[in-house]
Amino acid sequence: MYDTFQVDRLIDMWLTEDIGYCDLTAQLMIEADETAFFQMNARESIVVAGVDVAARVFRRYDADVQVKTLVRDGQVVDKGTRLLEVSGSARSLLTAERTSLNIIQRMSGIATETARYVEVIKGTTARLIDTRKTTPGLRMLEKHAVTCGGGLNHRLGLDNGVMVKDNHIAVCGGIAKAVERARRQLPVLTKLEIECDRLEQVEEALAAQVDVIMLDNMSVADMAQAVKIVNGRIKLEASGGIRLDTIRPIAETGVDYISTSKTHQSAPAVDIGLDAA
């Protein structure tokens, strides 16, 4: 889920950064009237994300370029799968090539990594969600990539929900006082989540009737106890140091959500290439 107007603004910045004054190689070596046809291929098994953005890069640079997407975001494809075809001015295709590849490799890397986490917690009631620890300027697209991999989005930004963390609680003088302050002008459709790192805080948050309780860096045993305390009355989110090798026991405690930044921060770019047909 992303806005194409915003994507076009990003593409303009990406192309400006990469091109500079001009693509010197293409201008010197390729005649203005020469045309080319290329195919974008997956060089490993991946979950696709950003194929339409990659296509949009070519069209943004040269509106006369013809691009045909052959897969859709969220699709699992094998090595060798053709993702898109592009034809038109050879200069334009060669100039926009790297920018187009960079974004689809990054987004598909996040989607593929997310799918790995989702697979590990399959069969539990827990859902994987992301965080705000995204690459500056790319949050909209990186969060879209998470959904392509089967995850859910947490807050899109600071204006998207109220998250009461330990420092907010410290300033306000306790959970009850912090929640009271937050509710004074809380928009009616906005959720209120509170961070707890001890079971006694879970009791306080439950009494304050918040919408979501984050279990921050708790042991698996304490998370299981928190699930018993809450007993389905409030949604529970597990967070803090979640990794692929630790997520399954956490999911089995019965929490509703598990948030991790690893799907953004640790996802390697996948191998995708643009090849002459």
What is the average pLDDT across 250-260? Answer: 98
Judged by DSSP in three states, 147 sits in: helix
Look at residues 141, 145, 148, 162 and name the one whose alpha carbon lies nearest to residue 211: 162
Residues 6+ apart with CB under 8 A from 144: 1, 2, 49, 50, 73, 107
Domain boundaries, the chain: 4-118+268-276, 120-265
Look at residues 165, 219, 201, 75 and name the one whose alpha carbon lies nearest to residue 84: 75
Position 277 pLDDT exceeds 90:
no
What is the average pLDDT across 20-49? Answer: 97
Position 231 pLDDT exceeds 90:
yes
Position 195 pLDDT exceeds 80:
yes
Q: 216, 237, 256, 262: which one is catalytic?
A: 216
Question: How far is residue 177's CA from residue 184's CA, in Å, rounded to a whole number?
Answer: 11
Q: 82, 98, 116, 248: which one is catalytic?
A: 98
Q: Is 133 a catalytic residue?
A: yes
Look at residues 139, 173, 144 and name the one whose alpha carbon lies nearest to residue 159: 139
Q: What is the mean pLDDT of the chain?
A: 96
What is the average pLDDT across 68-82? Answer: 98
Question: How far is residue 277's CA from residue 232's CA, in Å, rounded to a whole number?
Answer: 56
Position 273 pLDDT exceeds 80:
yes
| Residue linked to tokens 């643009």 | 274
Q: 9, 68, 79, 165: which one is catalytic?
A: 165
| Residue linked to tokens 């965080």 | 131
User: What single-letter DSSP state applies at residue 152?
Assistant: B
Judged by DSSP in three states, 225 sits in: helix
% of the chain surpassing 70 pLDDT:
100
Return the CATH fold of 4-118+268-276: Aldehyde Oxidoreductase; domain 3 (3.90.1170)
Q: 113, 195, 237, 256: which one is catalytic?
A: 195
Task: Please list the residues that pair with 46 across neighbouring strands.
Answer: 77
What is the average pLDDT across 83-92? Answer: 98
- How confident is residue 119, by pLDDT bands cut at 50, 70 and 90? very high
Return the CATH fold of 120-265: TIM Barrel (3.20.20)
Q: 82, 116, 133, 155: which one is catalytic?
A: 133
Report pLDDT digits (tens) over 122-160. Answer: 999 999 999 999 999 999 999 999 999 999 999 999 999
Look at residues 250, 247, 261, 253 and name the one whose alpha carbon lies nearest to residue 117: 247
Is residue 129 within 8 A of residue 259, CB to CB? The reply is yes
Q: Is 98 a catalytic residue?
A: yes
Question: How far is residue 26's CA from residue 12's CA, in Å, rounded to a whole number?
Answer: 19
Question: How far is residue 51's CA from residue 193's CA, in Å, rounded to a whole number?
Answer: 34
Position 1 pLDDT exceeds 80:
no
> What's the confidence (pLDDT) of residue 179?
94
Is residue 48 within 8 A of residue 277, CB to CB? The reply is no
Amino acid, single-letter form, for residue 187? P
> What's the confidence (pLDDT) of residue 39?
98
